[in-house]
Structure 1
Amino acid sequence: MAILKVIEILANSKISWEDATKNAVSHASKTVKNIASVYVKEQSAVVENGEVAEFRVNVKITFSVNN
């Protein structure tokens, strides 16, 4: 039987929401092994001077826990 765990991470990027999601997975993978999936829960952006300055995501990362 597989045991899965889910953690929630906030990440950002000046490029795109996709890049912010990649940043979240990349950063999590430094300490979390066996990442199986990422679910984008929320997206938002920071606006400065009428332009999008930063993309933000709230993601859930699922990984298996070794027994």
Structure 2
Amino acid sequence: MSVLKVIEILASSEKGWEDAAGNAVREASKSVKNIRSVYIQEQSATVSDGKIVQYRVNAKITFEVK
């Protein structure tokens, strides 16, 4: 049986939500090993002058504890 842990990461990108999710996994993988999945819980964006300037995600990252 595996032991899994879930952490919550807030990440952003100027390109899009998919890139923000990738940033969350990339940053988490710097200190967390054995990442198994990412679940995007929420998406939001900041707007300036009628344009989206930053995409944000609230991601839950699951990893195996060894």
Q: TM-score range by the shorter chain?
A: over 0.9
Relative to the length of structure 2, the TM-score reads 0.99
Give 1:43's aligned residue: 43
Superimposed CA distance per residue, residues 20-57 of structure 1 (whole angstroms, 9 cap, x where no aligned partner): 00000000000000000000000000000000000000
Please, which runs of 5 or more residues in structure 2 have no aligned partner?
none
What percentage of aligned pairs have identical amino acids?
62
CA RMSD of aligned residues (A): 0.2
**Moved segments of 4+, more than 4 Å:** none
Relative to the length of structure 1, the TM-score reads 0.98
Give 1:17's aligned residue: 17
Give 2:34's aligned residue: 34
Please, which runs of 5 or more residues in structure 1 have no aligned partner?
none
